[in-house]
Amino acid sequence: MASYEDVMSLSVRRGFLWPAVDLYGGFAGFYDYGHNGVLLRRRWEDRWIETFLGLSDNYYLIDTTTILPEAALKASGHVDHFTDILVTCTRCGESYRGDQLLEAATHEEQEGLTTEEIDARIQELKIRCPNCKGVLGPSREFHMMFPLEVGPTGKDRAYLRPETAQGVFLNFKREFEALRRRLPMGLAIVGRAYRNEISPRQGAYRMREFIQAELQIFFDPATFGDAVPFQDIASVPVRVAWASEKHAPTAHDAPAKDLVGHGLPPWYVYHLVQVQRFYLDLLRIPRDAFRFAELDEKERAFYNKIHFDIQVRQESLGGFKEVGGVHYRTDHDLRGHEAGSHAKQSVTFGTSKLVPHVLELSFGVDRNVWALLDLSYAKGERVVLRLPVQVAPVPVAVFPLVNKDGLPERAEALYAGLRKRIAAFYDDSGSIGRRYARMDEIGTPFSVTVDHETLEGKGVTLRERDSQKQIRVKEGDLATTLNQLLSGEATFPA
RNA sequence: GCGCCGGUAGUCUAACGGUAAGACUCAGGCCUUCCAAGCCUGCGACGCGGGUUCGACUCCCGCCCGGCGCACCA
């Protein structure tokens, strides 16, 4: 159980994460990572890449620009759908979205109107503030995307990318050729994206600059179902909350085949299971703190035919919070770019010619890092960060029991040898208990202590963080033992 | 963006219209045969700007930042 203050205070104190530019009072919606935060985040990213690119031989990482010209984002729909016209009441100060006000009055879809057009329509329809009947306006544009002026004249309008996915879609044809025209093909990006959130809140949960890890899987909807080994996972229980029960504080288990019975495609459910495995088995998220939450038609984006949020329950954020999503985007994106660029996006695969469909596995990296900090936070007599072994920023610490009798020299020699293979950390300040406590706070799973028996050739002690138990390990076996523990091949006591 | 509350060392707290206090952390030292022991020494703070005042961390105004509620979150 960790409050928001608990997690934030530890993050700041121990070099994980803190508000950016706080020297100048801070910068809302922006956070900087410290040395342990970067290590934790990169290990999370490494595990993500291993897990999801590991789903197929034909899934790869690419890297694309963070700035995109207006034309590309026009075609993707972001220029129209990511820009709101806001109208503020002159009396009570409430703000409304102009298109929604007009739609409520006319019952017709209102899209792509300018501020002038919206003001004119409000006057014409005599729309007043729904809250206080005050006079509305004038309206103004609000961009969820950060606009940029590129080039000396600034006439080349561009934006910081609002999602990494577009970089993949823009490179689909190139990679389809380079990867020798095979489907399914997966392209992933781990990188930064930008949204001008109106009200950034709750630490790393809603930021204006954030890191996404997204895998876009391009497939032929006619054959994708046959390409995944659904039978292997048909009876695996999946944690789900349907749209109708999403506000309940829990979820329930349903066998994968029941989800298919509920109308979800087998290939979609197959990927839910893979995502669930990542969270439950690798990241060790408690089962009852994990779920897929279905979004109903109103909540999901217009291009998502099927959309489940990946949610993790976090005490610091007040319950289940979205850390990712599994989105069936159909052929919407490639068709959009085909229309916008006039470059054919259809491909010939086997005997059929098609515009591939897309399944997107999308993750907010910062949100995942925060969730790990939240769930790992254990407060007893002191704070222990029970991070899963495979993402811990510092996997191993080495100490001399006391600073005399040649123990520091012996411990330093051991450390020097160990760090050639393992990211180890050496400390000889304070007492042994204090050093253990320090490592516990940053989630170091294993500590090695050189004591007097070590000098007699009787090995070192190896301590586990969560149990505080110790075993003796021969110095010659130490690196191997640690590697097995850190890779998950062995469990303590090894 | 609106409303409410708040902002003091790295963290957590205190006090005061007149020299900003403490705990923990951290650094150095002594001591120490396994879980933040003890002792000594040291570093370190009033979010920013303006106003009132002889004097402002304290009162007033604006801004920034944060939490919560509303709105927003294709």
Q: Sign of the CA dihedral A397, A402, A407, A412?
A: positive
pLDDT on residue A103? 77
User: Cα dihedral angle (A153, A154, A156, A157), rounded to 10 degrees?
Assistant: -160
Asked if strand B comes closer than 7 Å to A382 Cβ, the answer is yes
Distance A24 CA to B48 C1' (A): 8
Structural contact between residues A371 and A312, judged by C-beta atoms closer than 8 angstroms? yes
Distance A231 CA to B43 C1' (A): 64
Q: Sign of the CA dihedral A88, A89, A95, A101?
A: negative
* Site of tokens 């002690």: A461
User: What digits encode the pLDDT tens for the residues A62-81?
Assistant: 999 999 999 999 999 998 88
User: Cα dihedral angle (A241, A243, A247, A248), rounded to 10 degrees?
Assistant: -40
Ranges of CATH 3.30.930.10 domains, chain A: 4-75+155-377
Q: Which nucleotides of B are covered by protein (CB under 7 A)?
A: 1-3, 7, 10-12, 25-28, 31-38, 47-48, 64-74
pLDDT on residue A98? 81
Return the CATH number of the domain spanning residue range A4-75+155-377: 3.30.930.10
* Site of tokens 């990006």: A189
Any idea which architecture A394-487 has in CATH?
3-Layer(aba) Sandwich (3.40)
Peptide bond into A69 cis (omega under 30): no
Which stretches of chain A drop beneath a pLDDT of 70? Answer: 92-93, 109, 111-112, 494
Report residues 222-281 of A contacting strand B, contact meaning Cβ closer than 7 Å.
none
ipTM for the predicted complex comes to 0.94
Ranges of CATH 3.40.50.800 domains, chain A: 394-487
Nucleotide nearest to A20 (CA to C1'): B65
pLDDT on residue A393? 97
Asked if strand B comes closer than 7 Å to A203 Cβ, the answer is yes
Asked if strand B comes closer than 7 Å to A346 Cβ, the answer is no
Residue A153 is encoded by which pair of tokens? 């004249």
pLDDT on residue A201? 87
Nucleotide nearest to A166 (CA to C1'): B74
pLDDT on residue A322? 95
Nucleotide nearest to A402 (CA to C1'): B32
Looking at CATH, the fold of the domain delimited by A83-143 is given as Herpes Virus-1 (3.30.40)
Residue A210 has φ and ψ, to the nearest 5°, of -145, 170
Q: Which residue is closest to B34 in terms of CA–C1' distance?
A: A432
Q: Which residue is closest to B7 in terms of CA–C1' distance?
A: A25
A366 in helix, strand or coil?
Answer: helix
pLDDT on residue A92? 67
Asked if strand B comes closer than 7 Å to A162 Cβ, the answer is yes
Report residues 431-460 of A contacting strand B, contact meaning Cβ closer than 7 Å.
431-434, 436-438, 441, 449, 451-452
Q: Which residue is closest to B12 in terms of CA–C1' distance?
A: A9
A329, amino acid identity: R
